[in-house]
Structure 1
Amino acid sequence: METPEPEIAAHRRHDTDLQSSPPSPPSRPAPASPPFPRIISVDDHTVEPPAVWADRLPAKYQDTGPRVVRAPLKDMSFLGGKFAPVMGAPGDDGPVGDWWVYEDLHRPLTRLDTAVGYDRDEIRLEVITYEQMRPGSYDVPARLADMDVNHVQSALCFPTFPRFCGQTFTEAEDRELGLLCVRAYNDWMVEEWCGPRAGGRLIPLTLVPLWDAGLAAAEVRRNAARGVRAVAFSEIPPHLGLPSVHTDEWDPFLAACDETGTVIAMHIGSSSRMPSTSPDAPPAVGSTITFANCCFSMVDWLMSGKFERFPNLRVMYAEGQIGWIPYVIERADVVWEENRGWGGVADRVRRRPSEYFAEHVFGCFFDDAFGLRNLDSIGVGNVLYETDYPHSDSTWPKSREVGEAQMGHLAPDVVERIVRGNAIDLLGLSPEGLWVA
């Protein structure tokens, strides 16, 4: 290829310089950027295999406990934050999918449960079968392989059929069966999903019977004794008909978490009510403002006095992103400074809410460039990374590339803390980032 004239002139000047000057030492290449750390995702999801409860419940509950049936879809909508599927009868027309059946609940598997690997414009609210699902959604070896593709070392997974904090069992009529279902799920989570096949790469997250704080405390302690350090909870319990965190009703549960170092993990939607603006608002509205429940919940906790009473308590918000946090903390501090007397918190919130946040609250994100640009206003130690596999919002299989693009302005040690170091400390993982029972 012919060299442009300006480059020829430059080469000639260089040649002249070489003739009149001693040779320069060879230039050293610029130091390479450190490799992006292996990710510890604090918010992924498991789709439970069909036999989780059938294999673990007493024989008398085999026909009433959670089980999978294949049936047609009669109707399904997702408007105003409400998911409303209707199962058809055998022989009805309509697309066929696998449904979880439990008491009077019929819950189908949908493409939104496991959307990775599909083009964004091809993802629809539709029923699917296990055969139409990415195997990594429910199979441990396949999950580890998909984690390898995505530069993920370890992952903590929220449930699907029980919903994000076990609301399915909380809403059931048979409390005895509900408690057995919670314990069966936890046994499967610890012994199989996070068992020997996972090699410490899957981190257990367990459920509690939310309808009884004493039973919840016992379940926290039962699982803590086998190395579990995270439990799912509702972001806004009153939406489930349960007491708020401003009452003393949850104290036995909170005391158990405080004593065992068990982190309270709250996923968006764990109040069974996604934020929306009207009954006919399309899902895109709610998807844009999913962080709102986390925002409301965090203010609840900061103004509850619970962090004063339970100094070892830690809470984390999964899939809530982090960009909204700085203003909410700032506003909470202003309210505390100026209005705590008539605001009803002077006797229990002894310090600025921002101080409690720094010591007790963790925000989780997978795609939040704005939040990362304002990291100093949040705190490097209060941020965790996630990939949301296998949901439609997931950054799989490019979570590393997304992280590199959004964290390129941060020092390597800061990136290390966000991507894995904070999770290791919070969840009691080994220095290598693995769960040890």
Structure 2
Amino acid sequence: METTETESTRNAQTPLNPADFPQIISVDDHTVEPPNVWSDRLPKKFRDTGPRVVRAPLKEMTFLGGKFAPVMGNPGDDGPIGDWWVYEDLHRPLTRLDTAVGYDRDEIKLEVITYEQMRPGSFSVPERLADMDVNHVQSALCFPTFPRFCGQTFTEAKDRELGLLGVRAYNDWMVEEWCGPEARGRLIPLTLVPLWDPELAAAEVRRNAARGVRAVAFSEIPPHLGLPSIHGDEWDPFLAACAETGTVIAMHIGSSSKMPSTSPDAPPAVGSTITFANCCFSMVDWLMSGKFERFPELKIMYAEGQIGWIPYILERADVVWEENRGWGGVADKVRKPPSEYFADHVFGCFFDDAFGLKNLDSIGVANVLYETDYPHSDSTWPKSKEVGEAQMGHLAPDVVERIVRGNAIDLLGLDRDGCWRP
């Protein structure tokens, strides 16, 4: 039987030269919002109730069973001092896990910090660009910190008027300042939507698309937030807006406010090992939802979910679709094998997944994107280039180029230099 080489295994004859490793476009980094993001933008009547930073002691803090539970002390109380975001009843401290780059692994602990105790590149554009230069990064798409990964903070708030203004203020800061002229096209905007109202969400997608935004954050499993699943019609206005404007739906691990765990007393290491699990569940939801039939231009991506798990899930989904069509509940809306929808609509993102790269042919070169996760504790900064070289050394140079930057350029509508141009 005749055999053929696959795209990713041709490299046996053409090894990657480390000096030629392409400049990275990271599709999953993070920004720590400066203290004035909302105080500078909310109407005057909301400035005392909207998000603001207070310096206060920590009374206690736990992170067990996937649940983060900090308690803010009163001025004068004993305890380590940190900067806290205060908004309605929420008290959310900045922690070392929010911005861990530059620290030894053994020094990274769950502790409160102040802005002065974090690396300035976490919140300042010039310092961020400098840290990107150190890390061989051309451009970066950044998820939020205080709003959480898809704006859950505003979704859970009581005052909907203030919540909507908070979402819009964040988006204005993201587009006009974080990704503004000072960033020189190297920071790529990712915006939020008011998840509690799909019509308002659609309007916000279109408002931002009109100024060049091509990515919006969304929840991997909306029912965990008390919101409708994607199997009904409730999200259709939002999905239609994304499809019409070419806006990619970006879902970060933890964007359902429920990190995978096994028990209430499981240590964080358990959840950290299985962080991909919600991405796995979410992708099956989307593949079996029929939404890619109804919205053929729709694209979704999974940030920090890694990619090694994808081949088996696609194989299993195809088997279920074929063998359980009589009672599986999807025969009328999922008209071809789920793996075919994956190829056209779904993108996996990784920063450290040697196993996934060894099985790239079962995933698809066009469906894989690279990330650095700056400034989080899992980040490969400042060695993202070296990690990429070590894990992609078996791949052809053109395949590495696509994974490290080419696919992101196409997906996010960047120019050929990898920059965002509004």
TM-score where L is the length of structure 2: 0.96
Q: How does 1:393-404 map to 2 (within 5 A)?
A: 393-404=378-389
Q: Structure 2 CA distance, aligned partners of 1:222 and 1:195? A: 17
Q: Structure 2 CA distance, aligned partners of 1:154 and 1:230? A: 14
Q: Which residue of 62, 68, 87 corresponds with 2:72?
A: 87
1:342 aligned partner: 327
User: Displacement, 1:32?
Assistant: 5.5
Contact 2:348/2:369 (<8 A) preserved: yes
Q: Which range moves more in the overlay, 259-268 or 30-39?
A: 30-39
SS of residue in 2 equivalent to 1:112: coil
Q: Structure 1 CA distance, aligned partners of 2:267 and 2:415? A: 43
Q: Determine which structure has greater relative contact order: mean sequence separation of CA pairs < 8 Å that are 6+ residues apart, divided by chain length.
A: 2
Residue 231 of structure 1 aligns to which amino acid in structure 2? V
Residue 52 of structure 1 aligns to which amino acid in structure 2? V
1:417 matched to 2:378? The reply is: no
Residue 408 of structure 1 aligns to which amino acid in structure 2? G
Q: Which residue of 333, 344, 355 corresponds with 1:370?
A: 355
Contact 1:227/1:436 (<8 A) preserved: yes
1:214 aligned partner: 199
SS of residue in 2 equivalent to 1:206: coil
Q: Which residue of 186, 197, 204 corresponds with 2:182?
A: 197
Contact 2:16/2:393 (<8 A) preserved: no
1:153 matched to 2:138? The reply is: yes
1:125 matched to 2:125? The reply is: no
2:91 aligned partner: 106
Residue 319 of structure 1 aligns to which amino acid in structure 2? E
1:163 aligned partner: 148
1:185 matched to 2:170? The reply is: yes
1:333 aligned partner: 318
Q: State the aligned residue count.
A: 408
Q: How does 1:230-245 map to 2 (within 5 A)?
A: 230-245=215-230
Contact 1:85/1:108 (<8 A) preserved: yes
Contact 2:16/2:395 (<8 A) preserved: no
Q: Structure 2 CA distance, aligned partners of 1:340 and 1:63? A: 56
Q: Which residue of 129, 150, 158 corresponds with 1:144?
A: 129
Contact 1:113/1:390 (<8 A) preserved: yes
Contact 1:382/1:422 (<8 A) preserved: yes
2:281 aligned partner: 296
SS of residue in 1 equivalent to 2:249: strand
Residue 203 of structure 1 aligns to which amino acid in structure 2? I
Q: In structure 2, do the counterparts of structure 1 residues 32 and 111 end up closer, same or farther at CA, with 3 Å as the change threshold?
A: closer
Which consecutive residues of structure 2, in runs of 5 or more, have no partner in the other structure? 1-14
Q: Structure 2 CA distance, aligned partners of 1:228 and 1:340? A: 39
Q: Structure 1 CA distance, aligned partners of 2:91 and 2:255? A: 19
Q: Structure 2 CA distance, aligned partners of 1:303 and 1:364? A: 21
1:431 matched to 2:422? The reply is: no
Larger Rg, first or second structure (1 or 2): 1
Contact 1:40/1:419 (<8 A) preserved: yes
Residue 301 of structure 1 aligns to which amino acid in structure 2? W
What is the root-mean-square deviation of aligned Cα atoms in Å? 0.9
Q: Which residue of 338, 361, 373 corresponds with 2:346?
A: 361
Q: Which residue of 248, 269, 282 corresponds with 2:254?
A: 269
User: Displacement, 1:330?
Assistant: 0.2
Q: Structure 2 CA distance, aligned partners of 1:357 and 1:161? A: 31
SS of residue in 2 equivalent to 1:116: coil
Q: Structure 1 CA distance, aligned partners of 2:186 and 2:232? A: 37
Please list the CA deviations of residues 277-298 of structure 1 after superposition, one character each: whole Å capped at 9, or x if unmatched: 0000000000000000000000
Q: Structure 1 CA distance, aligned partners of 2:133 and 2:96? A: 23
Please list the CA deviations of residues 82-107 of structure 1 after superposition, one character each: whole Å capped at 9, or x if unmatched: 00000001110000000000000000
- Which consecutive segments of 4 or more residues in structure 1 shift more than 2 A? 30-34
Residue 107 of structure 2 aligns to which amino acid in structure 1? E
Q: Structure 2 CA distance, aligned partners of 1:62 and 1:410? A: 53
User: Displacement, 1:34?
Assistant: 5.6
Contact 2:16/2:397 (<8 A) preserved: no
Q: Structure 2 CA distance, aligned partners of 1:353 and 1:420? A: 26
Residue 151 of structure 1 aligns to which amino acid in structure 2? H
2:231 aligned partner: 246
Q: Which residue of 280, 283, 290 corresponds with 2:265?
A: 280
Contact 1:34/1:412 (<8 A) preserved: no
SS of residue in 1 equivalent to 2:20: coil
User: Displacement, 1:341?
Assistant: 2.0
Please list the CA deviations of residues 185-237 of structure 1 after superposition, one character each: whole Å capped at 9, or x if unmatched: 00000000000000000000000000000000000000000000000000000
Q: Structure 1 CA distance, aligned partners of 2:208 and 2:157? A: 23
Q: Structure 1 CA distance, aligned partners of 2:247 and 2:53? A: 32
Please list the CA deviations of residues 375-428 of structure 1 after superposition, one character each: whole Å capped at 9, or x if unmatched: 000000000000000000000000000000000000000000000000000000
Residue 242 of structure 1 aligns to which amino acid in structure 2? L
Q: In structure 2, do the counterparts of structure 1 residues 175 and 356 end up closer, same or farther at CA, with 3 Å as the change threshold?
A: same
Residue 262 of structure 1 aligns to which amino acid in structure 2? T
Please list the CA deviations of residues 96-120 of structure 1 after superposition, one character each: whole Å capped at 9, or x if unmatched: 0000000000000000000000000
2:209 aligned partner: 224
User: Displacement, 1:33?
Assistant: 5.8
Contact 2:57/2:74 (<8 A) preserved: yes
Please list the CA deviations of residues 157-185 of structure 1 after superposition, one character each: whole Å capped at 9, or x if unmatched: 00000000000000000000000000000
Residue 362 of structure 1 aligns to which amino acid in structure 2? F
Residue 161 of structure 1 aligns to which amino acid in structure 2? F
Which consecutive residues of structure 1, in runs of 5 or more, have no partner in the other structure? 1-29
SS of residue in 2 equivalent to 1:40: strand
Q: Structure 1 CA distance, aligned partners of 2:292 and 2:190? A: 22
